[in-house]
Amino acid sequence: MNSHKTISRSHFDAIIFDLDGVVTQTAHVHATAWKAMFDDFLQKRAQGSEFQPFGDRDYRDYVDGKLRYEGVKSFLRSRHIELPYGNPNDSLEKETICGHSATAKMRSFRPS
């Protein structure tokens, strides 16, 4: 069975791809999801030291406009936290950028 389909230009005037943040205003939703994930992660790591929450400036400087895993890595480095990269199939229990941080952000962004 051939699963490839052809889109004929004669049937369409335009095609719109990735609208997130372009046509729809999702920056606040994304920033809120990142804050929930990073604050939970940072509070667990603080263990007696002072907790410094993830703020608007952190979002703008380290996360916004970057690929998900690169944003996670960039922010963690700003806090002098090094985690192995891992791979996208890592579970949440793994202390890796892919497994713990990025996956947790996506779970907090999606409604239950």
Catalytic sites, residue numbers: 18, 20
Q: Which of 68, 59, 54, 79 is nearest to 101 (CA)?
A: 68
Phi then psi dihedrals of residue 20, to 5 deg? -60, 115
Q: Do the Cβ atoms of 30 and 37 come closer than 8 Å? A: no
Host H or E run for residue 70: helix 68-78
